[in-house]
Homo-oligomer: A and B are copies of this chain.
Amino acid sequence: MLMKATAIANSNIALVKYWGKRNSDLILPYNSSISMTLDSLNTKTTVEFNKEFSDNEVIINGKTVEGEEKARVVHHLDLLQEFVTEKVFAKVKSESNFPKKAGLASSASGFAALTLAGIKALDQNLTTKELSILSRRGSGSASRSVLGGFVEWNKGSLPDGSDSHAIQIEKEDHWPELSMIVTIISTEEKKVSSRVGMSQTVKTSPFYPAWLDTIESDVEKMKKAISQKDFVLLGQIAENNALKMHATMHTTVPPIIYWESGSLTIMKEVITLREEGKECYFTMDAGPQVKILCLEDDLEVIKSRVNKLDVVRDIMICHPGKQTSLTDDHLF
């Protein structure tokens, strides 16, 4: 039996954000979230379990990782091996086509790929729901990357987290015109991880309860916008939701400011473009990159305008992408 498998997972960007855990061990969120799985930002991961290995080995983007980063992967491998009787060491090799820990949801695609590859290497067959729950245990947003297109991560209410998983709202072919321009401003790893940041926000931001109070309405409107392909509604809710999340970050003590000066340059350009009649909206995550939402017809004009800004180091164009899947193209 070959205890080796490879999976490819797409990253996803939330349109209604996830920020804050009600249970940090099981990674259960305070609020439901909605995301778009992206076709262009992906992670490929090969996992091999082998009795002959004398230790775990984790290689991410060509570098053997140690310390906390390795521990997090090994902890997840332990979780996957709860399905089998005997635990063995593993070799994991993972490659992303975009910078990690820079607000591009590398942990989402990373843990979704790790989960599917690991489970397959253990020769287990799980439902999508089970894969989403398992991926969630590695990184909350990974629960959403298991599915393609437009996805809701229902926060659930059960203490064991068995109802906290992703559900597909619409497939990727529902709205192929929906486009996201991911601007890369900085590839530096963020100073405050999402994990630490959200924990501090929950504890200290006076706006956190008010943020949670707005989620149900945002989720309902976003679902409606997606199913009816109402781009203006989708953009308005996504931009406002992102600004609300960042407002809870800014009012954390001490403040968490993921925005860089270049982020603001792009945000203002988006607002200017909109004033000029080009429908586009921004969203941002736990990092400085600005993601611009627009429709296919406006993509080239907006892209060329944004490309002229000095602060933009790179641009990636994304559309709704596929679910996490297996491949025979192993990395080792």
Q: Which A residues are within 8 Å of any B CB, using their own CB?
A: 206-207, 209-211, 213-214, 236, 239-240, 243-244, 246-248, 250-251, 253, 255, 257, 259-265, 267-268, 271, 311
Given A260-B264, A267-B257, A268-B257, do A240 and B246 touch, yes or no (CB 8 Å)? no
A209 touches which of B210, B262, B264 (Cβ 8 Å):
B210
Q: What are 20 A-B pairs with beta-carbon distances under 8 A?
A: A206-B210, A206-B213, A206-B244, A207-B207, A236-B253, A240-B253, A240-B255, A243-B255, A247-B250, A255-B271, A257-B264, A257-B267, A259-B264, A260-B264, A260-B268, A261-B264, A261-B265, A261-B268, A261-B311, A263-B264
- Quick one: closest B residue to A255, CB to CB? B243
Copies in the complex: 2
Instruction: Give chain B residues whose Cβ lies under 8 Å from the Cβ of A206.
Output: 210-211, 213-214, 244
Q: Which residues of B contact A214 (CB under 8 A)?
A: 206
Give the residues in chain B near A263, CB-CB below 8 Å. Answer: 264
Partner of A243, one of B243, B250, B267, B311: B250
Task: Tell which of A247, A253, A255, A268 has the most Cβ of chain B within 10 Å.
Answer: A247
Chain B residues within 8 Å of A211, by CB: 206-207
Also in contact, A244 and B240, with CB within 8 A (given A210-B206, A210-B209, A264-B260): no
Report the separation of the CA atoms of residues A307 and B194 in the bound assembly, to the nearest whole angstrom: 33
In whole Å, how far is A113's beta carbon from the nearest beta carbon of chain B?
A: 34
- Tell me if B255 and A239 are in contact (CB < 8 A): yes
Cβ distance A217 to chain B, nearest Cβ, rounded Å: 9
Q: Which residue of chain B lies nearest to A208 when distances are taken between CB atoms in the complex?
A: B210
Which of A260, A261, A262, A311: most chain B CB closer than 10 A?
A261
B240 touches A247 (CB 8 A): no
Q: Residue among A236, A251, A253, A264 with the most chain B CB within 10 A? A: A251
Bound together, the chains give a CA A243 to CA B247 distance in angstroms of: 8
Q: How far is the CB of A311 from chain B (nearest CB, A)?
A: 8
User: How many whole Å from A31's CB to the nearest CB in chain B?
Assistant: 13
Most B C-beta atoms less than 10 A away, residue of A257, A264, A268, A311? A264
> Can you add 16 more A-B contacts, CB < 8 Å, to A206-B214, A257-B271, A261-B264?
A206-B210, A206-B244, A207-B211, A207-B244, A207-B247, A240-B251, A240-B255, A243-B251, A243-B255, A244-B251, A246-B250, A247-B251, A255-B271, A261-B265, A261-B311, A263-B264
Question: What is the bound-complex CA distance between A148 and B239, given in angstroms?
Answer: 42
Specify the chain B residue showing the minimal Cβ separation from A247. Answer: B247
Q: Which B residues are CB-close (under 8 A) to A253?
A: 236, 240
Give the Cβ gap from A251 to chain B, nearest Cβ, in Å.
5
Once the chains are docked, how many angstroms separate the CA of A271 from the CA of B259? 13
Cβ–Cβ < 8 Å partners of A239 in chain B: 255
